Amino acid sequence: MARVYNFSAGPAVLPEEVLKEAAEEMLDYKGCGMSVMEMSHRSKEFQQIIDEAEQDIRDLMKIPDNYKVLFLQGGASQQFAAIPMNLKKNGKAAYIITGQWAKKAAAEAEKYLEVQRVASSADKTFSYIPDCSDLDIDDDVDYVYICENNTIYGTKFHELPNTKGHTLVADVSSCFLSEPIDVEKYGVIYGGVQKNIGPAGVVIVIVREDLIPQEVDISVPTMLAWKTQADAGSLYNTPPCYGIYICGKVFQWIKKMGGLEAMKKHNEEKAKILYDFLDNSKLFQGTVVPKDRSLMNVPFVTGNEELDAKFVAEAKAAGLENLKGHRTVGGMRASIYNAMPKEGVQALVDFMRKFESENM
Ligand SMILES: *Cc1c(COP(=O)(O)O)cnc(C)c1O
């Protein structure tokens, strides 16, 4: 068995330990004679799995008691609609456009309320985070929306926007659990888990209780009303059971690694290896303004499309997979999520150095 270093943006690398444990428990979960895939979501075994998963993410992120944690289906994209549906009061929201995912979220929200695009970095291909310290935000917006880490462009809000007292909603799909955050600064934190936490098919929504409308508008589908899911402990219908089980194992793994402080340190060390190399390379350049660089997604180019394609192909042959950039950006992108070991990033940089010397 040969495992590659997988730099995919998502679905993405998971901790090998977690995969092995899941494999060991595949046929017989803790003596119950069946796989987690086969068990009732109403069984006491599964209830314990979801309860422990919730407690572990609460511990890791220090989530206050007045926030609900929901394990849902439909991916992050489903929440693009659920967010305006649940948060709409005055019928207006402010969106900060820092890439494709924010753009898509804003376009979806526009079906349900008025969207004000209060800042954007589209003018420079989303290679930076706009100054959000003093935005022109109307007093009556229901919320301010950001995509905190831009998976495609490789930028990250290192400082949250000044929302002028409005509820902050953040899509954290590609930076979930990568570093400590102050949950109380947000009204809603959500993300698809397939970038940094688990298998595709689960989206985690962390929402402050007072933001969950108790009177659900008749036009909101039952499944998209956070109240439905919050009241039922994420078990209104059959949840993505196996996915939640793997998420739980990843939470345990992060705890064992030392929690989010340790993750941050680990991620900073890894990213530094790659950014230091890019900053000194004669062939490769990073595409993001240094102060806004993501620790998770690192896009880079040679400036020559043929050479980029050659690099991606040769890297793959060397066991470094999924380095092709997003179709809208081109070039390369290395996603170096929590589960990517430092050795993987080192192997990538060694390979880039060799490629550079052969192609300059
Ligand atoms: C991948 C991604 C999405 C889309 O996630 P789905 O679960 O496929 O809907 C949304 N936002 C961000 C930031 C992403 O990285």
The percent of residues in the chain predicted with pLDDT above 70, rounded, is 100
Distance from residue 84's CA to the centre of ligand 1 (Å) = 17
Q: What is the mean pLDDT of residues 316-339?
A: 95
Ligand 1 pocket test: which of 71, 72, 77 has the largest number of ligand atoms within 8 Å of its C-beta? 77
Going by pLDDT thresholds of 50, 70 and 90, the confidence category of residue 1 is low
Distance from residue 282's CA to the centre of ligand 1 (Å) = 33
Q: Whose CA is nearest to atom 12 of ligand 1?
A: 173
Q: What is the mean pLDDT of residues 33-45?
A: 97
| Nearby residues of 86 by Cβ (< 8 Å), 6 or more positions away | 211, 212, 213, 220, 224, 225, 226
Look at residue 49 in the predicted model and tell me its pLDDT.
98
Burial profile 65-80: b = 16 or more Cβ within 10 angstroms, e = fewer = eebbbbbbbbbbbbbb
Q: How many beta carbons lie within 10 A of that of residue 218, not counting itself?
A: 5
What are the φ and ψ backbone dihedral angles of 105, each rounded to 5 degrees? -65, -40
Query: pLDDT tens digits, residue range 154-172?
Result: 999 999 999 999 999 999 9
Look at residue 147 in the predicted model and tell me its pLDDT.
98
Going by pLDDT thresholds of 50, 70 and 90, the confidence category of residue 327 is confident
User: Measured between alpha carbons, how far apart are the two ends of the chain, in Å?
Assistant: 35
User: In this model, does residue 202 exceed pLDDT 80?
Assistant: yes
Q: Catalytic residue positions? A: 101, 171, 195
Identity of the residue numbered 47: Q
Nearest to 203 by CA among 69, 35, 326: 69
Query: pLDDT tens digits, residue range 86-121?
Result: 999 999 999 999 999 999 999 999 999 999 999 999
Distance from residue 9's CA to the centre of ligand 1 (Å) = 10
| Nearby residues of 316 by Cβ (< 8 Å), 6 or more positions away | 323
Q: How far apart are the C-alpha atoms of 108 and 3, rounded to whole Å?
A: 39
Burial profile 283-293: b = 16 or more Cβ within 10 angstroms, e = fewer = bbebbbeeebb
Average pLDDT in the chain? 97
Ligand 1 pocket test: which of 103, 151, 173, 193 has the largest number of ligand atoms within 8 Å of its C-beta? 173
The percent of residues in the chain predicted with pLDDT above 90, rounded, is 98
| Token pair listed for 190 | 């959500």
CA angle 53, 55, 58 (to 5 degrees): 110
Q: What is the mean pLDDT of residues 12-41?
A: 97
The distance of Cα 178 from the centroid of its chain, to the nearest Å, equals: 9
User: In this model, does residue 256 exceed pLDDT 80?
Assistant: yes
Q: How many beta carbons lie within 10 A of that of residue 56, not counting itself?
A: 19
3-class SS at 353? helix
CB 77 less than 6 A from any atom of ligand 1: yes
3-class SS at 337? coil
Q: What is the mean pLDDT of residues 312-339?
A: 95
- Give yes or no for a contact between 136 and 157, defined as CB atoms under 8 angstroms apart: no
pTM of the model: 0.98
In Å, the largest CA–CA distance within the chain is 65
User: In this model, does residue 248 exceed pLDDT 70?
Assistant: yes
User: In this model, does residue 273 exceed pLDDT 80?
Assistant: yes
Q: What is the mean pLDDT of residues 26-43?
A: 97
Q: How far apart are the C-alpha atoms of 292 and 322, rounded to whole Å?
A: 23
